[in-house]
Amino acid sequence: MSLKKINVALVGLGFGGAFAEIYKEHPMVGELAVFDTDKALEKTFREKLGIKKEYASLEDILKDPAIDAVHLVTPIPLHEEQSVAVLEAGKHCACTVPMATSLEGIRKITEAKRKSGKTYMMMETTLYTYQFFYVKQLLESGELGKIQFLRGSHYQDMANWPEYWLGLPPMHYGTHAIAPMRVLGGSRLNRVVCFGSGTMDKSLTERYGNPYPVESALFSFENGLKAEATRSLFETARAYQEGLFVYGSKKSFEWGFEDGDAPYVTELIPNPRGERGGITNVKQITLPNPYQGLPEEIQRFTVGGNYDPLNPQKTLETGAGGGHHGSHPHLVHEFLMSIAENRKPAVDEELGGNITAAGVCAHLSAMEGGASMEIPQF
């Protein structure tokens, strides 16, 4: 039985423009609409993709019965209000991270989703990267052994970004550091202790009342594991990086110093002579591109501008490139197929809520000098 095609509206074309052509090429999409408050930018995308229909606002999109699903790629302060509006309009909703910036915001989205019966997916890129797929395979195959500890990091300098970024509490946008650890750790995050560090210009502290350019947190899982995450946003001299470090009893995975670096895998080998300590074998690895689970029409987006149409197979197998380490087409595909197959998406309101709430509670802990905070369940 063939699945019904889905009409999608992509809202926000700054970063969101990276998803437009993927939706246009995906075989499960019927009609694609695009919208941005920058009408010149929107016109560029409509002309490029052959989209004739225009909308005056998000509200107009939500009134259109032809639209089945909305993907929000809009400023962080709008996520809560817009996600609730999409769900209350009876549309499926995908939203870029974070889900919200308060526990109350997460609760409102969760309630709207469950009341509507529609799909909600938090579009977390780090759960669909080359790096994440590789370490997940190590864990599932048993090569990693049992996980003993995890560490995540996200270093970024937000100077000269749009105004709403200025002074944002680092852990309010901690999902890139937290999400891979949460999924690999295998159970809900339930408690956090976090400290803020450093100082920053007064102009950066006024919007959100946040004094810290850096926040570092220690999380506890329900299953007893522990994980550490560090997030920086301002006045910290560090190359951009989304890091993931997974320490297992047999192997460990460590990535990275800079965002484009290849990760290291360390294997612990028992010492055959019974001497102190095991033998460690450290290798820097080339990551495979897990494109095979995607429709052929969108596989090339896993490698972005590195795709060679004259030698597609070699390009895909070599990997490298693509938005956020090849994650964008996987996110689009998972959102669409969860709707078509009437199932929960991989990052639904429950998982997205736990990841986001962990960051919100981490910042609350930092503002109280490292007080232990329980992470609520949604």
pLDDT (tens place) for every residue of the chain, 378 residues total: 578 999 999 999 999 999 999 999 999 999 999 999 999 999 999 999 999 999 999 999 999 999 999 999 999 999 999 999 999 999 999 999 999 999 999 999 999 999 999 999 999 999 999 999 999 999 999 999 999 999 999 999 999 999 999 999 999 999 999 999 999 999 999 999 999 999 999 999 999 999 999 999 999 999 999 999 999 999 999 999 999 999 999 999 999 877 788 999 999 998 887 778 888 999 999 999 998 999 999 999 998 766 556 555 655 666 666 678 999 999 999 999 999 999 999 999 999 999 999 999 999 999 999 999 999 999
pTM, to two decimals: 0.95
Q: Same structural domain for residues 270 and 152? A: yes
- Residues in CB range of 304: below 8 A, 6 or more apart: 321, 322, 323, 326
For residue 352, being part of any structural domain is answered with: no
Rounded to whole angstroms, the Cα distance separating 125 from 323 reads: 9
Q: Same structural domain for residues 70 and 97? A: yes
For residue 1, being part of any structural domain is answered with: no
Q: What is the CATH number of the domain that holds 212?
A: 3.30.360.10
Q: Same structural domain for residues 79 and 38? A: yes
Rounded to whole angstroms, the Cα distance separating 46 from 53 reads: 8
Neighbours of 126 (CB within 10 A): 24
CB-count exposure of residue 273 (10 Å: 0-12, 13-18, 19+): exposed
Question: Facing residues of 197 across strands?
Answer: 214
Q: Same structural domain for residues 259 and 342? A: no
Neighbours of 136 (CB within 10 A): 18
Q: Contact, 158 vs 165, CB < 8 A?
A: yes
DSSP states of 363-378 as a string? Answer: HHHHHTTS--EE----
Q: Contact, 288 vs 134, CB < 8 A?
A: yes
Q: How many domains does the chain have?
A: 2
Share in percent of the chain as helix, strand, coil (round to 5): 35, 25, 40
Angle between helical axes of 103-116 and 79-88 (0-180°, round to 10) = 10
**Amino acid (1-letter code) at residue 290:** P
Query: pLDDT digit string (tens) for 250-290?
Result: 999 999 877 788 999 999 998 887 778 888 999 999 999 99
Q: Find the domain containing 285 and state its range.
A: 127-314+317-324+358-374
Predicted pLDDT at 300: 92
